[in-house]
């Protein structure tokens, strides 16, 4: 029994030793692999940086504490096959991690192997954004992803208001995936890649020349080069040879150029001449004492390696930090109880007896724990803070924006995922609140290709001899706007003249051909015309095309060159003022209340004043007259009676203020009634039109039909299509009772032209939509922007108004003399007032003369004893003279004469006469 137990124990030991090898809690040496291209710009710098980091880690007793890090480097020699083979060889040597690979192509392949064998890959240069932690969990990118680099380029393009770019890239995983990310970031800012120019791996200078010749024939002048140090300089050299590094071009490169300039610069003058004015990006690394100390050590480090003279670039800094990140992760791995042990992968055993010896590769048992420690890294290296976000990317991605000029380059700005474009270093902005205002996006002045500081337009009209096919509506009504001549077939009109004038202002030639659209018998569908521009059947559309929402969803419009919202046209009846127009400002109730108020105020003042004010005392008859006179004289502020009581004065002041308001309101209303021509229509506006059940007319082809149906919910059965101004007039005159329409809804531009010769109709209410006419171009067309600028120029210099006057200035139905005459006031508006005034004067004089005659008749007969001459005068004449003298005398004089008569002739008759005379 004891022997059997011993045999079982030894079997278990043997089994365990076969499945797990090299187990150790904290070994003396930890093996790490590194694969990259030694003689490349990135690889040569990375080799020195990795060696330096290995020495620094091993010389620091606080890191691995007794364990030595051994990094074995393999040269892939720019070969994807060699890179894969060398990575697989590392898997046979119990390697716990691999620093690299440098190339994206190799990274894609060996990431699958790392996933299987649990060996973390820490790449300091594979920037392909598709190498993500979800698909490749054991791939750790210790540098910035191209996703952020492309976001920076997209923001630069948007900052300078360019809408299209051409992408030139090497057709491999790195190039394709990077340009795909660029397209996504541009789309977020409503920009796009108009053309992708692929440079095939292994392409010659002749191949690149043929490719750039095609690029030169295209309209976009913003070119983004996403390449590597092998093809990038060749692309710029060929572009310089083809004179594509001149004024008007924009060249933006990814960080391959900044790495080349940082490591190999200054380059030869002939090479620098090929890249003048180019913008490039550089991975931003924070300025720190660690970084400055490492840079000061660099010359000694490359002297120790004896591999030539080159400088440090950002990838070398990240390679150095990558080794430190791995060392700190290993230290945390050991502290957490991790051991270096490997197990056989049964799925790799070659059952067919092949010679690949795949069974030699083993699974790193602690791979998941080490990966977790790497992902949880959080320390400050020479590049700055090294910490990963939830997506596996380093936090605080940022780039320097470099302008190549002269024999070197200069930094013109920064981009960070935190603050966007700025002239302030991202390290400074991280400590401040986020400012996303438009003014915070700034870049220093850039010297562009051609040695100019003026921002390039970013595109030109392609010089390939192709004419623009421009669709023009073939109208059958309102031909003043646009129409085709039946004899010559040429297109003319107001819209065509505006378009031609705008094209002539462009700084480049635009060949175009106007193509009529429509059958010539009815106005065409404008939505169909704009849809043909969206689908590419037409390159543009010119005409009386309204800018409405459903059209702007599929095409771009220029700046409106004429305002034209929807209005209502209906028959009108003119109101003429009459003799009693002065009564119209107030209603009957208002007149009654106003008159009663005068009487009430007069009575109130009399009550408050009659006991203390002599002017309000006397016989009842006199006081009634005083009340009436005082009340109505306040209408003209002409009352003579003084108020002495405080309450009376308060009432009077308030009443005078009320009288002032009433008088001013009456004056204003009467002025409006007498001077403004009044029109009437049963339709008062769009609301009353919708509420009615009567037919509504619209122009064939106009957007008004769909607008009324979709936006105003008017049944389509109530709408009637009309094709010409003559049909407009006929339908309005007939009215809805006789087969016509109650009103017409159309755009103001057409309506104004219609009303210039039809004065029996008018616009009712105001515009209920605000729109205009513009020229149609495909989405994101840069020509639309330049045409908008040209239209604004036409508006500012007065040419737009002159074109309008050329086509639409005509004799209106109301002459200028009639308009002036309609503003004058006629006797017919006032004869009622003159009649009242005349009648009152006549009645007053009649009553006066009746009283005078009555008093004169009561006088005694005249004294006949007089001069002989008076005896000879007829009696009737003497009687008339005496009456006139009686009327002319003042009452006081008559009283004085009577008194003298009484003294001279104290007779009863004379006294009676005088009393009668009084």
Q: Supply the pLDDT for residue 16.
A: 36
Lowest mean per-residue pLDDT among 215-229, 309-323, 436-450: 436-450
Tell me 65's DSSP state: S
Is the dihedral angle over the CA atoms 849, 852, 858, 864 positive or is it negative?
negative
202 & 56 share domain: no
* 364 located within any domain: yes
> Residue 223 sits in which domain range?
146-286+397-430
Rounded mean pLDDT of 420-429? 90
Of 63, 49, 46, nearest in space to 294 by CA = 49
Beta partners for 225? 168, 253
Q: Which residue has the higher pLDDT, 234 or 586?
A: 234
Q: Is residue 910 over pLDDT 50? A: no
Checking if the pLDDT of 757 tops 50, the result is yes
Of 752, 770, 788, the last residue of a domain is 770
At 913, the pLDDT band (50, 70, 90 cuts) reads very low
Q: Which of 21, 656, 741 is nearest to 341 (CA)?
A: 21
Kindly give the interhelix angle for 289-305 and 41-58, rounded to the nearest 10 degrees: 110
pLDDT tens for residues 793-846? Answer: 999 999 999 999 888 876 556 544 344 344 454 445 445 544 654 575 467 557
Cα distance between residue 261 and residue 283, in whole Å: 13
The whole-angstrom distance between residue 3's C-alpha and the CA centroid of its chain comes to 90
Nearest to 632, CA basis, from 606, 599, 608: 599
- For residue 836, is it within any domain? no
Same domain (yes/no): 132, 160: no
654-709 pLDDT per residue, tens = 777 777 777 777 788 777 766 655 555 677 788 888 888 889 999 988 888 888 99
Residue, of 889 and 293, whose pLDDT is higher: 293
Q: Give the tens place of pLDDT for each residue, 465-478.
A: 688 999 999 988 88
Question: Which residues 6+ apart lie within 8 Å of 493 measured at CB?
Answer: 479, 480, 481, 482, 483, 807
Beta bridge partners of 452: 448
Quote the number of domains for the chain.
Answer: 5
Higher pLDDT, 912 or 395: 395
Evaluate whether residue 633 is within a structural domain: yes
Alpha-carbon span 95 to 35, nearest angstrom: 13
Nearest to 685 by CA among 751, 739, 762: 762
Q: Answer positive or negative: Cα dihedral of 342, 343, 347, 352.
A: positive
Q: How confident is the model at residue 2 (pLDDT cuts 50, 70, 90)?
A: very low
Looking at every residue in the chain, the average pLDDT score rounds to: 82
Closest CA to 634 of 589, 601, 670: 601
The pLDDT of residue 10 is: 31
Q: What is the pLDDT of residue 692?
A: 85
403 and 261 within one domain: yes
CATH number at residue 277: 3.40.50.2300
Residue 348 has pLDDT above 70, yes or no: no
Tell me: pLDDT of 298 over 50: yes
Distance CA 404, CA 276 (A): 6
User: Mean pLDDT throughout 5-20?
Assistant: 35
Q: State the Cα–Cα distance between residues 876 and 30, nearest whole angstrom.
A: 157
CA distance 657 to 637: 11
pLDDT-derived band at 6, boundaries 50, 70, 90: very low
The structure tokens listed for 749 are 């531009």
pLDDT of residue 18: 39
Confidence of residue 464 (pLDDT cuts 50, 70, 90): low
Q: Which run of H or E residues covers position 569?
A: strand 566-571
**Residue 19 in this model has a pLDDT that exceeds 60:** no
Residue 799 lies in a domain: no
In this structure, are 589 and 707 located in the same domain? no
Q: Which of 97-111, 233-247, 433-447, 711-725 has the highest mean pLDDT?
A: 233-247
Cα distance between the two ends of the chain: 172
Give the residue carrying structure tokens 């009437």. 680
Q: Is 397 helix (H, G, I), strand (E, B) or coil?
A: coil
- Do both 639 and 687 map to the same domain? no
Instruction: Give residues with Cβ within 8 angstroms of 893, minimum separation 6.
Output: none
Q: Would you state the pLDDT for residue 523?
A: 87
Q: Could you tell me if residue 50 is inside a domain?
A: yes
Higher pLDDT, 722 or 13: 722
Residues in the chain: 918
Tell me how far CA of residue 156 lies from CA of 184, 186, 426, 625, 829, in angstroms. Answer: 15, 10, 16, 90, 71
Across 133-156, average pLDDT: 94
Per-residue pLDDT tens over the stretch 21-72: 445 578 999 999 999 888 888 999 999 999 999 999 999 999 998 899 999 9
Q: Using one digit for the tens of pLDDT, what is the confidence trace for 182-235?
A: 999 999 998 999 999 999 998 999 999 999 999 998 889 999 999 988 899 999
Please check whether residues 381 and 527 belong to one and the same domain: no
Both structure tokens of 78? 């720019």
Q: Which pLDDT does position 24 carry in this prediction?
A: 56
Single out the residue in 748, 770, 792 at which a domain terminates: 770
Most confident of 12-16, 214-218, 618-622: 214-218
CB contact at 8 A, 408 and 416 = no
Element (H, E) at 187: helix 173-188
Same domain for 516 and 595, yes or no, is no
Residues 278 and 249: beta-carbon distance below 8 Å: no
| Percent of the chain whose pLDDT exceeds 90 | 43
Has residue 253 got a pLDDT over 60? yes
Structure confidence at residue 112 as a pLDDT band (50, 70, 90): confident
Closest to 765 measured CA to CA, from 568, 574, 571, 564 = 568
CA distance 301 to 703: 75
Taking residue 190's Cβ as centre, other Cβ atoms within 10 Å add up to: 10
A 10 A CB-CB count for 683 gives 21
| Per-residue CA distances from 671 to 148, 573, 588, 674, 822 (Å) | 70, 20, 19, 5, 14
Which two three-digit tokens encode residue 324?
């430190």
Unique residue bearing structure tokens 């710009």: 41
Domain for residue 403, yes or no?
A: yes
pLDDT confidence of residue 800: 93
pLDDT tens, residue by residue, 628-647: 777 777 766 666 677 766 77
State residue 825's pLDDT score.
47
| Same domain for 315 and 256 | no
Does residue 808 sit within a domain? no
Lowest mean pLDDT among 170-184, 494-508, 757-771: 757-771
* Same-domain pairing of 256 and 199: yes
Which residue bears the tokens 């330049």? 786
Q: In the structure, what pLDDT confidence band is assigned to residue 4 with cuts at 50, 70 and 90?
A: very low
DSSP 251-315: EEE-THHHHHHHHHPSPPHHHHHTTTT-EEEEE-----HHHHHHHHHHHHHHHHHTS------HH
The pLDDT, as a whole number, for residue 165 is 96
CATH number where 510 lies: 3.40.190.10
User: Residues 206, 123: one domain?
Assistant: no
pLDDT in tens, 490-532: 899 999 999 999 999 988 888 899 999 988 888 888 989 999 9
62-110 residue pLDDT tens: 999 889 999 999 988 766 677 777 777 777 777 999 998 988 888 888 8
Report phi then psi at 750, rounded to 5.
Answer: -70, -40
SS3 58: helix
> Is residue 248 domain-shared with residue 273, that is, in the same domain?
yes
Q: Per-residue pLDDT tens for 72-85? A: 999 887 666 777 77
Residues 138 and 150 in one domain: no
How much is the pLDDT for 431?
77
**pLDDT category of residue 575 using cuts at 50, 70 and 90:** low
Identify the domain boundary among 387, 408, 440.
Answer: 387
> What pLDDT score does 281 carry?
97
Question: Would you say residue 35 lies in a domain?
Answer: yes
At 770-782, the pLDDT tens digits run: 889 999 999 888 8
């Amino acid at each position: 029994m004891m022997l059997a137990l011993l045999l079982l124990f030894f079997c278990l030991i043997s089994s365990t030793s076969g499945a797990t090898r090299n187990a150790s809690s904290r070994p003396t040496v930890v093996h790490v692999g590194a694969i990259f291209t030694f003689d490349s710009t990135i690889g040569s710098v990375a080799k020195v940086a990795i060696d330096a980091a290995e020495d620094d880690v091993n010389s620091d007793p606080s890191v691995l504490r007794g364990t030595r890090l051994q990094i074995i480097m393999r040269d892939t020699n720019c070969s994807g096959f060699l890179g894969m083979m060398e990575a697989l060889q590392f898997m046979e040597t119990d390697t716990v991690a691999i620093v690299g690979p440098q190339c994206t192509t190799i990274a894609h392949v060996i990431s699958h192997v790392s996933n299987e064998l649990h060996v973390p890959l820490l790449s300091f240069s594979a920037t392909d954004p598709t190498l993500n932690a979800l698909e490749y969990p054991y791939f750790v990118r210790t540098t910035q992803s191209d996703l952020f680099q492309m976001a920076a380029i997209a923001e630069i393009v948007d900052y300078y208001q360019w809408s299209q770019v051409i992408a030139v890239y090497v057709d491999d995983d790195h190039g394709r995936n990077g340009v795909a990310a660029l397209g996504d970031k541009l789309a977020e800012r409503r920009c796009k890649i108009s053309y992708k120019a692929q440079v095939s791996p292994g392409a010659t200078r002749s191949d690149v020349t043929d490719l750039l010749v095609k690029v030169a024939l295209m309209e976009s002048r913003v070119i983004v080069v996403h390449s590597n140090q092998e093809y990038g300089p060749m692309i710029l050299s060929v572009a310089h040879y083809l004179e594509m590094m001149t004024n008007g071009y924009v060249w933006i490169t990814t960080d391959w150029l900044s790495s080349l300039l940082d490591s190999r610069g200054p380059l030869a003058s002939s090479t620098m001449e090929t890249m003048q004015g180019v913008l490039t990006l550089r991975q931003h690394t924070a300025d720190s004492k660690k970084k400055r100390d490492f840079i000061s050590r660099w010359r000694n480090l490359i002297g120790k390696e004896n591999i030539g003279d080159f400088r440090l670039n950002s990838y070398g800094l990240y390679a150095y930090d990558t080794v430190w990140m791995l060392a700190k992760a290993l230290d945390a791995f050991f502290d957490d109880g991790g051991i270096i042990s490997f197990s056989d992968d049964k799925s790799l055993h070659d059952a067919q007896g092949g010679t690949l010896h795949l069974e030699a590769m083993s699974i790193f048992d602690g791979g998941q724990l080490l990966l977790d420690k790497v992902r949880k890294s959080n320390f400050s290296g020479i590049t700055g803070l090294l910490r990963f976000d939830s997506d596996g990317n380093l936090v605080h991605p940022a780039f320097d924006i470099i302008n190549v000029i002269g024999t070197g380059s200069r930094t013109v700005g920064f981009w960070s995922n935190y603050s966007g474009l700025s002239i302030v270093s991202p390290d400074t902005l991280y400590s401040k609140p986020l400012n996303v205002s438009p003014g915070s996006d700034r870049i220093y002045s850039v010297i562009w290709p051609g040695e100019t500081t003026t921002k390039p337009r970013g595109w030109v009209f392609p010089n390939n001899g192709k004419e623009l096919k421009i669709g023009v509506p073939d109208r059958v009504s309102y031909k003043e706007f646009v129409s085709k001549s039946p004899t010559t077939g040429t297109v003319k009109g107001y819209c065509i003249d505006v378009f031609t004038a705008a094209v002539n202002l462009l700084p480049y030639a635009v060949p175009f051909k106007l193509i009529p659209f429509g059958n010539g018998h009815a106005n065409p569908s404008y939505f169909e015309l704009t849809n043909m521009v969206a689908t590419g059947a037409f390159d543009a559309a010119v005409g009386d095309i309204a800018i409405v929402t459903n059209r702007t969803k599929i095409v771009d419009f220029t700046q409106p060159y004429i305002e034209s919202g929807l209005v209502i046209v209906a028959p009108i009846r003119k109101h003429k003022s009459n003799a009693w127009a002065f009564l119209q400002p107030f209603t009957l109730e208002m007149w009654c209340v106003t008159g009663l108020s005068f009487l009430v105020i007069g009575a109130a003042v009399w009550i408050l004043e009659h006991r203390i004010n002599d002017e309000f005392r006397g016989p009842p008859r006199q006081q009634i007259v005083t009340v009436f006179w005082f009340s109505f004289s306040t209408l003209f502020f002409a009352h003579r009676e003084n108020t002495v009581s405080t309450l009376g004065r308060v009432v009077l002041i308030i009443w005078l203020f009320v009288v002032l308001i009433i008088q001013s309101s009456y004056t204003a209303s009467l002025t409006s009634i007498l001077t403004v021509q009044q029109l009437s229509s049963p339709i008062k506006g769009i609301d009353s039109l919708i509420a009615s059940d009567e037919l509504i007319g619209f122009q064939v082809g106009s957007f008004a039909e769909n607008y009324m149906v979709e936006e105003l919910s008017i049944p389509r059965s109530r709408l009637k299509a009309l094709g010409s101004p003559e049909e407009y007039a006929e339908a309005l005159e007939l009215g809805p009772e006789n087969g016509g329409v109650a009103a017409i809804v159309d755009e103001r531009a057409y309506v104004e032209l219609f009303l210039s010769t039809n004065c029996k109709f008018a616009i009712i209410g105001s515009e209920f939509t605000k729109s205009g006419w513009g020229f149609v171009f495909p989405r994101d067309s840069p020509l639309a922007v330049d045409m908008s600028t040209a239209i604004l120029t036409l508006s500012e210099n007065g040419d737009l108004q002159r074109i309008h006057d050329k086509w639409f200035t005509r004799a209106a139905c109301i002459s200028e003399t009639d308009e002036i005459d309609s503003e004058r006031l006629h006797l017919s508006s006032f004869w009622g007032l003159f009649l009242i005034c005349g009648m009152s004067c006549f009645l007053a004089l009649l009553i006066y003369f009746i009283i005078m005659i009555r008093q004169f008749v009561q006088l005694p007969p005249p004294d006949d004893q007089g001069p002989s001459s008076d005896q000879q005068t007829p009696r009737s004449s003497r009687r008339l003279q005496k009456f006139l003298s009686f009327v002319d005398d003042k009452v006081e004089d008559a009283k004085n004469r009577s008194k003298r008569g009484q003294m001279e002739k104290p007779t009863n008759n004379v006294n009676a006469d005088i009393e009668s005379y009084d």
